[in-house]
Every structure is written in C-alpha cells, then in structure tokens.
Amino acid sequence: MTDATEGSAAPGRATDVDESARALGARIRALRQRRGMTLTQAAAEAELSHSFLSQVERGLERLSMASLFRIARALGTTQQDLLTDDPPDRPEGAYYVYRQESGSPVDAGTGPLAVLAQHRARFLPMIFSGAFDDGAWWQHDEEEFLYVLEGEVIVSLGDTEVLLRAGDATYYESGIRHRWRTPEGGSCRVLVVKEQQHSR
C-alpha cells in the first residue's frame, strides 16, 4: 500500500492489462464527464498530471491504489465504485467468476492487485502480494477485514501495532486510521475484504 503518485503497466502483460485498464479508464472518464469536469480540472483535483490521467482514461496506464484513491476523491466517489461495475440488466441471483489469469488495472505498489469481484456486491475482496512499507495512513467510511494467507504483516491501527502471521486476521470498523508493513526483508500475501458503499 505505497503512496506512489503514478503507476505504470508491467512489461510483457500489455494484453492482460489493456482489457481491465480500459474498463477502469472508461468508468473514470464517464464519471468525470457526468460531473462536468475537464481532464485538467480532474487531474488538478487528484494531484496528478494531465497527461497521466489522460493515459489512464485510455487504458494505457495502471494506477497505484493511492492514485486511484485521489481520483475517486476528486470525482466524489470511492475506489470500490471505480474498480467494480454492474453488468447491464443484472438479473436476480447473478454471480461472477474470477479467473486467476485476469488482468489488473491497479498496482498495489509491489505488483498487480487482484480484485476478486468485478461486479458490485456488498463487499470487495482483493489480494495484495509483496513487501510493504508503512506508506500513507488510510482512513475511509468502509469497514475492512484482512486475512494473512502467507508471510507476516504488521498492521497499525491508530496507536496500536499488531503482528499478524499466516492464518491470522483482523477486522476494523470505518473511520479507523490504519496502515500496514511487512517486517524487514519479508513479504506477505493478504486477502482484504472491504465493505461496499456505492456513491453513484
């Protein structure tokens, strides 16, 4: 969960990245236009360069989670709304199947972030992998659950630090300031499930 301003597509995965990145870019562009904002205005509000946001909207760049958060905030929405979308005329009892080879339009700072439910459910499951530093503090209106699949991760919750190992989990309510890091030289793989609060 690093606070990188701009991300880039991983080399050699252009085909995978393009499909998911184009979908995310199209959602960002559509919402920006509905908000009546120019590309320049939206980029300034999100503290990103005009050229980078243009590339994102065309599906040519992969966002970091921090950049996605800033874009969502500038457009008056949430990361979840931008990452997920309802299929047209979604029937009752609809379902979604995630395939391991699916591309990701977002980079966690250490590699692609796997978003396991593209359609809008009541929750958003994601898998983060790699080594993380403390990075920026995160604070949002959604409740969140974190389960360690592999390795160790240190979770800071306000003034409290908790070391979690494989098989451990934590849940924190909305409004809790939090961030996570891996012990020096270590890495982890964690499942994060975030509550969905759609603003559109």
Nearest to 126 by CA among 155, 96, 147: 147
For 150-169, the pLDDT digits (tens) are 999 999 999 999 999 999 99
What's the whole-model pTM score?
A: 0.64
With left for phi above 0 and alpha for psi between -120 and 50, is residue 194 left, alpha or beta? beta
pLDDT tens digits, one per residue of 20-78: 788 889 889 999 999 999 999 999 999 999 999 999 999 888 788 778 888 988 998 87
Within a 10 A sphere around the Cβ of 136, how many other Cβ atoms? 12
d(CA 6, CA 9): 10
